[in-house]
Amino acid sequence: MKTDVLIIGSGCSGLYCALKLPSDVKITIITKSDFASSDSFLAQGGMCMQRDENDFESYFEDTMKAGHYENDKKSVELMIRTSPEIVKDLVSFGVNFQRDEQGNLLFTREGAHSRNRIVFHKDITGKEITSHLLEAAKQRENITLLEYTKMTDLIIKEEMCIGAKVEFQGKEDLIFAKETVLATGGIGGNYEHSTNFCHLTGDGIAVAKRYGVELKDMDYVQIHPTTLYTKEKKERSFLISESVRGEGAKLYNKNMERFVDELLPRDIVTAAILKQMKADGRDYVWEDLRDIPKEELETHFPNIVEHCRKMGYNVFEECIPVVPAQHYFMGGIKVNHESKTSMEHLYAVGETACNGVHGKNRLASNSLLESMVFAGRAADDIQKRLKGKVCKVSA
């Protein structure tokens, strides 16, 4: 098979990259599982955006502080400045963010944010965004989407990427491309406890390493403080969104005493929970959602309420047990501000890439935004390369 652009992965970054390319560019998107089984669909809390010009400095500082000031400042600025454009784009694709009676966007807050600046759709923001991007991609005649198609290797010629080897229904095939984009997601499938889908095992990072493509911050792994504790081993841990704490939920030890400021950065809250679990001699701590008005719980967090109910907990009347789990990978394939890797004709976007936005620790709800901002920049760069010159290497 031959294509202009091969995108490996069907989360929000891969889909947005495809949608930002011109209609005369032939695009092939492959995904290891079904299209709905990407972590982009799982994002609960929402997506950050710069509310107004006065918000820039505080948003920038919040991101830098959460990342322990190891962030790439230019990447952070690009992400924040582009955020209103991303929201406008998503609305044009049909994404329905929560609004007030006058039609203005509503904003929620999560840990380490100095103000409310997160747009959301109930507690399934990722699903709302990614499903609309997927539907838009399906409508484009220039985009071919292939499910259950696993990338097993890159095709390299003269130290340049010219496509990928893939496996479908047990048979291997080759897809040649002028430009290849790795959008293979995170590494959670390698962990016993993770909020990620189990098939997301860092495949893009593995093949990049195989060919000496530069990597960055490989030890920067974020643990989410609060997932629903269960004795039974699940394929993935169920996330209790940080937005719940942003709206007033509290964390308690075994004696029902608060032991941490719930809105501190995730790594700090996680460390406090692990310390408290050890002190309590338990595998969990308690999270109390009862301070949140019932109507707010039912409208903002219906899926969390329902999942807890199925697991035997009534969040309106009792606390729920929570435990930290692997959640997000800040490191990955090193890319520049156009999402280009150190190998010619190879890009990386989303969680598999590291452009330095997140630093050592990701600020809550920056992931969806960052993924699409730099996927869009990749699309712009690819478009210029395809128009500007013929691919250096032919299949």
Q: Which residues share a beta bridge with 99?
A: 105
Instruction: Answer yes or no: is pLDDT of 186 > 70.
Output: yes
What pLDDT does 111 receive? Answer: 87
CA distance 321 to 266: 17
Assess contact for 115 and 109: CB atoms under 8 A: yes
Q: What percent of the chain has pLDDT over 70?
A: 98
For 63, 76, 120, the CA distances from 60, given in Å and listed in that order, are 5, 7, 20
Distance of CA 214 to the CA centre of its chain: 21
Amino acid identity, position 254: K
pTM of the model: 0.91
What pLDDT does 235 receive? Answer: 74
Q: Is 303 exposed, middle or buried (0-12, 13-18, 19+ CB in 10 A)?
A: middle
CA distance 17 to 349: 9
28-53 pLDDT tens trace: 999 999 999 999 999 988 999 999 99
Overall average pLDDT of the 123-148 stretch? 97
With tokens 């759709």, the residue in question is: 121
Positions of E strands within 158-284: 160-168, 171-182, 215-216, 221-228, 250-252
Is 3.90.700.10 the CATH classification of the domain at 223-326?
yes
How many C-beta neighbours within 10 Å does residue 114 have? 14
pLDDT band at 392 (very low <50, low <70, confident <90, very high): very low
What pLDDT does 395 receive? Answer: 44
What pLDDT does 245 receive? Answer: 95
Classify domain 2-219+330-388 at the CATH superfamily level. Answer: FAD/NAD(P)-binding domain (3.50.50.60)
Residues taking part in catalysis: 266
Instruction: Answer yes or no: is pLDDT of 257 > 80.
Output: yes
Instruction: Answer yes or no: is pLDDT of 388 > 80.
Output: no
Residues of the chain with CATH 3.50.50.60: 2-219+330-388
First-residue to last-residue Cα distance in the chain:
11
332-353 pLDDT tens trace: 999 999 999 999 999 999 999 9
CA distance 37 to 252: 33
Q: Where are the alpha helices (DSSP H) in 102-239?
A: 125-139, 203-210
Q: What is the mean pLDDT of the chain?
A: 95
pLDDT band at 231 (very low <50, low <70, confident <90, very high): confident
* The pair of three-digit structure tokens given for residue 53, joined into one six-digit string: 């010009």
What pLDDT does 193 receive? Answer: 83
Edge-to-edge strand order for the sheet containing 332-334?
A: 215-216, 332-334, 353-354
Buried b (16+ CB within 10 A) or exposed e, 198-222: ebbbbbbbebbeeeebebbbeebbb
Instruction: Answer yes or no: is pLDDT of 87 > 70.
Output: yes
pLDDT band at 390 (very low <50, low <70, confident <90, very high): very low
Positions of E strands within 254-330: 285-288, 320-329
What pLDDT does 382 receive? Answer: 98
DSSP secondary structure letter of residue 353: E
Residues of the chain with CATH 3.90.700.10: 223-326
Length, in residues, of the chain? 395
Which residues, in sequence order, are CB contacts of 62 under 8 Å at separation 6+?
Answer: 112, 113, 114, 363
